[in-house]
Structure 1
Amino acid sequence: MLRPSKNDAQQSLFFSLGGSLDQKHPLYILAFKVDWDIFEREFSKFYSADEGVPSKLIRLMVVLLILKYIRNLSDERLVEQWSENIYYKYLCGQNKFIVKIPCVTTELVMFRQRIGVKGCELILCESIHINGKDGNEPDISADTTVQEKNITYPTDNKLHRKIIAKCKKITNQENIIPRQAYTHTLKKLYVDIRFSNHPKNKKKSCAGGRKIRTIVGRLAQELERKLPDNYNYSESLNLFTRVFNQKRSDKNKIHSLHEPPVHCISKGEEHKKHESGKMASTLYTQSARVTVGALSFKNEYVATLPKALEQYKRLKKKPPKNVFASRGYKGKTVIVETSIHIAKPFSKKLNTYQQQKRKESHNRRAAIEPIIGHLKQDHRLSGNFYKGDFGDAINVLLAASVFNFKRMINKYKQKIVYIRVEIQAICFYKLVAKVSF
């Protein structure tokens, strides 16, 4: 049930929460810059009017999502910090100090599922809006990156060990007595494959890996025989069979049991040859570096730019004029009303001024790379903890949204420092004038 809007009136005669804070603090300023009413209007349709337990305030849940990505926190750590930080409370619209945690972590999970991808796009749209003119540039830059999943480095031996553990768990749950448990055998084999890269252990390690794979096949087949006809493990057994049958040269391999759709994408970079995750496309304004588009893709080989431009048009209500991209975007030079510019030798038809402007635009496009680095290191794009394709979609949107919010927070900080320096300079000159007089 949707909780009615709270009363914003001052609760105490002698004390107000806002009056006790530093009004130049970036989070204090941000509380007045964002249009919170738009979230109330759009997200209230996801709640029942008169059924169920009263929900948490919509503004509270939206701010918690934003703070989670600004501070790079887990859900558990976020609610703990909220109870300790008075500026977090004021940003959420609170008018009195509350000691207890704002919500349990499962309520954040349910809220993300409730608003979905469209709700996260609305947060991105508002983050663009508060950047003002910086988010309205007609020229944008495009690039793609890999949104890594929170999985271990994929190897066949790791997958086989997990399958064996899952098979044993199923046998215990269904009270199935296996023909052989392989407890002591597996213990010795795990020791054999421990140091597989050492030249002396190479032969023994390969033999141990083959033996473990054989045991995986036996356990999976035995489970399939002994489970009743109405069992609910058909999906798991099919996954085990796919892992058992896959070979080194196969396509669409399984790299993780809990995230089967994950792709292993080759990057061609020296420090990291491959990344396991999903492809993500990002769009930025040329000069101000405001994120104006973020999209996740299920297929790594699909053309990303047309769908990214469709999302840009949904957010901005108009298509961009020019898109500057790397040479990986070779192909179409015009998509609907947008011109696509790739770095290449200049045409002889362009004069010197036009060539210089085009070169500057391509140089600004290269500034995307450190922005993507900040998204990965500071805003949770490097290790996605959300499950499935839905988790990929909302994670990249929230990371891009918070990058825009963080940009404005940094601008508020710089403005405050600049004002303080000016005040100090004025006071200093007045003091010097008095002394000299």
Structure 2
Amino acid sequence: EAAVEMGAVKKTEFERVIVDTTVQEKAAAHPTDSRLLEVARDKVARLAKRAGIKLKLTHEREGKTLRRRAAGYAHARQFRRLKKVLRRQRTILGSVLRQVQRKLGQLDEATRECLLPWIERAERIRSQRPHDKGKLYALHAPEVECIGKGKARKPFEFGVKVSLAVTHRHGLVVGARTFPGNPYDGHTLAEQLEQTRNLLQDVGVEPKAAIVDLGYRGVDDAVSVQVIHRGKSKTLTAQQRGWLR
């Protein structure tokens, strides 16, 4: 608003925006099954000890050994041996979980409520399989999702889908929001433009054209602005083609 008043940016700048999505990556290591199982076992054992639960077996030494063996077998592509190690890791994680669950009744309400979310996440890790949907990729960040962006150097990214709206001329950010669940790009456009209109209320201008990629095809009826992408090349004017470039 101050830039508009000073004349550094014209109001018409905000009538044309570029909208696209990306992945906001989270601080999560690559989610291999063996690592997740070992992290879950260690986390539950540590929280139980902190809560005053005395475990008969924590499997700490065996857990570290199995983690190293799994890494070696995966590197050597010895998948039968790797599956055997993973099966044992699930067994010892289940053993630790059952020991903790049997003694939850001895804890006070506040401590029990603190433990239950971690126990639930550890159980999800123990029961999930490679081709399941809705997998848990990070114990500390359950919102992390596996999103494919088509990059040759990095086929998959682990985080949350984010939509950004920037002005076409100077690249001023006029909207940014997350979309958990990895929805289709076109289904995020209406909500992103609504946020942009709200943020530009003080400027007194609304976006009239959205320049997007082919991931936003077929959403013209869902929004009140002109949607411009290269899929409409036969009907675009010379000026609009210039905007796309």
TM category, shorter: 0.7 to 0.9
Separation in structure 1 between the aligned mates of residue 60 and residue 27 of structure 2, nearest angstrom:
29
Q: Is the alpha carbon distance of 1:130 and 1:228 closer, same or farther for their aligned partners in structure 2, counting shifts above 3 Å?
A: farther
The amino acid across from 1:234 in the alignment is L
Q: In percent, how many aligned pairs have the same letter?
A: 25
Offset at residue 267 of structure 1 (A): 0.8
Match of 2:45 among 145, 168, 176: 168
Between the aligned partners of 1:243 and 1:271, the Cα distance in structure 2 is 27
Query: CA RMSD of the aligned region, Å?
Result: 2.4
Residue matched to 2:20:
143
Q: Match of 2:174?
A: 292
Q: Does 1:341 align with 2:228?
A: yes
2:138 match: secondary structure: coil
Shift of 1:176: 2.8
Partner residue of 2:206?
A: 319
- Pairwise CA distance, 1:191: 2.8
- Number of the residue aligned with 1:158: 35
What aligned pairs does 1:69-88 form with structure 2 within 5 A after superposition? none
Hey, what's the Cα distance between the residues in 1 that align with 2:9 and 2:104?
63
Amino acid at match of 1:326: D
Pick closer, same or farther for the CA change 1:313–1:188 going to 2, 3 Å: closer
Q: 2:139 aligns with which of 249, 257, 270?
A: 257
Q: Secondary structure at the match of 2:123?
A: helix
Match of 1:243 among 125, 133, 137: 125
Aligned letter for 2:207? P
Which of 30, 53, 58 is the equivalent residue of 1:181?
A: 58
How does 1:33-432 map onto structure 2 within 5 Å? Answer: 132-133=8-9, 136-137=12-13, 138-199=15-76, 201-228=78-105, 230=109, 231-232=112-113, 233-301=115-183, 303-317=187-201, 318-347=205-234, 355-363=237-245
1:265/1:277 contact within 8 Å kept: yes
Structure 1 residues 241, 150: closer, same or farther in 2, change over 3 A?
Answer: same
Deviations 1:153-179 (A, max 9, x none): 112111111111112213322333323
Structure showing the higher strand proportion among its residues? 2
Native 8 Å contact 1:255 1:262 kept in 2: yes
Relative contact order, CA 8 A, sep 6+: which one is greater? 2
How far, CA to CA, are the matches of 2:4 and 2:140 in structure 1?
35
Amino acid at match of 1:346: S
Shift of 1:126: 6.3
Deviations 1:379-402 (A, max 9, x none): xxxxxxxxxxxxxxxxxxxxxxxx
Unaligned runs of 5+ residues in structure 1 are 1-124, 364-437
| AA at the equivalent of 1:276 | F
Counterpart code for 2:132: D
CA distance in 2, matches of 1:128, 1:335: 30
Question: For residues 166 and 136 of structure 2, what CA distance do their matches in structure 1 show?
Answer: 33
- Structure with bigger helix share is 1
Look up the equivalent residue of 1:295 and give its one-letter code. Answer: R
Cα offset for 1:299? 2.6
Q: Which amino acid aligns with 2:37?
A: H
Is contact 1:334–1:340 with CA below 8 Å preserved after alignment? no
Amino acid of the residue matched to residue 174 of structure 1? A
Larger Rg: 1
* Alignment: residue pair count: 234
The one-letter code of the counterpart of 2:231 is K
Using the size of structure 1 for normalisation, the TM-score is 0.49
Gaps of 5+ in 2: none
Distance 1:180 1:319, change over 3 A: same
